[in-house]
Structure 1
C-alpha cells in the first residue's frame, strides 16, 4: 500500500511467521499446566471471572466499539476498553478492528480473511491470523481511532496488557491463580471467540438475508456474551445489542446498558423498528412454514363408511 499521500503512517508489525506460529502453540500448550495445580472451586471462579472480563474486552470493546462504533464513551474509558481487550492476547486493538471491518466488507467471498465456507474450519477458526500477510493492516480502514496516539501505542505494544495481567494474577494468588486465571482461561477464551469466525457461519438459524452464511446460535451467544446472534449482527452491524429481542441473551449489551445508566458510555445504537419488525415477520413466516410442513407429513386417516350386513330371506 502506498502511504505517500496519507496523513497517517502504517503500523507494520515485523514478525517472523514461523516463530510466531511456534510461540502461538507454546502459549496454547500452557493450558496443560492445570495438572500442576490441585483442583479447587476458588481457582475455577478465578478462571471464570478472567474469562468473562476479557471476553467483554473482545465483544464490547474490540468488536462493538472499535470495529463498529456502536456506542460512545470518553477518551479515558476508550483506552480502558482497549487495555481490557488487549489482555485477551488477540493482537492489537487497531489491527483487530481494521481486519474485522474488512471481514464485513467481503464476508464469505474470496477476499474474506476467515470464511469457513471458502477456506475451511481450522483456517477460519484460528490459522488465518498466523499468516504473514495479515501482520499488517491498512490505516485507512480505521481513521476514526488511528488518530489517537495512545491507541497506536497500545496497538504496537499489545503484549504489555496480558503480561501485566499475568503478573498481577501471580502476585495476587500465586501459581494457582496464574494457571487458572491466565493459562486455562486464555485457552478457552481464544477458542470461544474464534467460534464466531468458524462455527457461527456453519451452525444455527438464519433470520435475515445478510448475503453471507452468518447464523444465530444461542449456545455460542451464551459462550461469547452475545456474539452468537451473528446473523442479526451481519444484517445490522452497527447495533450495540446483537440480541435484537428480549429473549435473545446478550450479556455484553446488558453490561453496556448498565454502564450507560452511570454515564460511562452513551448513545448506544439499536436496530431500527423496521429491522425488528422484519425479523418478527420472518420468524412468523418460518414458524408457519414449519407447522405446515409437519401437517403435510402426518399420515391422513381415510374415513370409510361402516359396512352393512344385508339379510335376505330364503
Structure 2
C-alpha cells in the first residue's frame, strides 16, 4: 500500500507542477508570481519530478512551438508526423535538449518572458541529479515493497514526466472528443479528467490557449485550475484578468 501511495504522490505531484508551473506559467503565463515564489516553485518541481525533471525554459519554449506549429512538420511532437509514440518522444527529447543547450536558433516570440534559472537547471537536469533520484526511488522500493508486482511500478517513477507528456501529446491528438472543430487533431481525452488534472482537455486548450481554466463544459472539472484559484485567493500567485473579445 505504501508503494502505491508513493507512486500516486509522484504521479499527481509531478503532474501538478508540470501543469501549473511549466505549462500554465512558463509557456502561457496565465498568472504571475514573485521572483521568490518562482524560485521556490523551481525547487518543488525538481522534488516532485525527480529523475524526469524538465526545465521551465526548455518546456515553455517547446510548448509554444507546439501551439504555433500544431500537426505540421515543425511540431516538436505530433502523431501526424511521427510513426509511433517512441519516435515522437525521442524527437521531443532531442528538441528539448537542443533548446536548453542553445544548439538551435529559436524565434524570439517563443522565448519572451519564459522563466529561466540556468544554474539550477544545470544541476537539476544533470546526470548526477537524475541518478540520485533513481537511487532514492530504488531504496524506497527495497524498504517498502511487499509484493513482486509493486516492482513493476518502479520504471514509472523514473519516467513520470515523459509518461505525462506522451499521454497528452500522442493520445490527446488521437483519441477522445472535441468541443471545437479546429485545423488540428487535438482531442479532449476525458469528460472528467481524473487522470491528468485538467491537461486532458486538450482540444479546449488549443482553442483557448491563454485561458487558465481548461474545462469548458460543466462536467469538465479542471483540478489544477481549482488549485490555482485557491493560490490566487491567498495571494501566492496573481491570476491575470480574462480578456473579453468584442
Range class of TM-score, shorter chain: 0.7 to 0.9
In structure 2, the residue matched to 1:254 is: 226
Aligned mate of 2:80, from 117, 123, 127: 117
Paired residues of 1:114 and 1:123 also in contact (CA < 8 A):
no
Aligned mate of 2:69, from 106, 111, 132: 106
In structure 2, the residue matched to 1:301 is: none
In structure 2, the residue matched to 1:49 is: 9
Query: Residue 168 of structure 2 aligns to a residue in which SS?
Result: coil
Q: C-alpha distance in 2, partners of 1:123/1:168? A: 26
Deviations 1:202-245 (A, max 9, x none): 11112113321101111793221110100110011111111124
Aligned mate of 2:118, from 152, 156, 174: 152
Alpha-carbon distance, 1:170 to partner = 7.7
| Larger mean Cα displacement after TM superposition, 98-107 or 119-128 | 119-128
Greater RCO, CA 8 A, separation 6+: 2
Alpha-carbon distance, 1:62 to partner = 0.7
Q: Which ranges in structure 2 are unaligned for 5 or more consecutive residues?
A: 100-105, 146-150
Paired residues of 1:225 and 1:252 also in contact (CA < 8 A):
yes
**Cα–Cα, structure 1 residues 72 and 107, in superposed 2: closer, same or farther, change >3 Å?**
same
Alpha-carbon distance, 1:270 to partner = 5.0
1:135 aligns with 2:107: no
Q: C-alpha distance in 2, partners of 1:220/1:198? A: 19
Which structure has the bigger radius of gyration? 1
In structure 1, the residue matched to 2:45 is: 85
**Cα–Cα, structure 1 residues 45 and 66, in superposed 2: closer, same or farther, change >3 Å?**
same
Q: C-alpha distance in 1, partners of 2:231/2:144? A: 28
Alpha-carbon distance, 1:182 to partner = 6.9
Alpha-carbon distance, 1:86 to partner = 3.7
Return the TM-score normalized by structure 2. Answer: 0.78
In structure 2, the residue matched to 1:61 is: 21
**Cα–Cα, structure 1 residues 155 and 177, in superposed 2: closer, same or farther, change >3 Å?**
farther
Q: C-alpha distance in 1, partners of 2:191/2:152? A: 23
Deviations 1:3-49 (A, max 9, x none): xxxxxxxxxxxxxxxxxxxxxxxxxxxxxxxxxxxxxx122111111
Alpha-carbon distance, 1:80 to partner = 2.4
Q: Which ranges in structure 1 are unaligned for 5 or more consecutive residues?
A: 1-40, 275-314
Q: C-alpha distance in 2, partners of 1:261/1:176? A: 40
Q: C-alpha distance in 2, partners of 1:58/1:79? A: 15
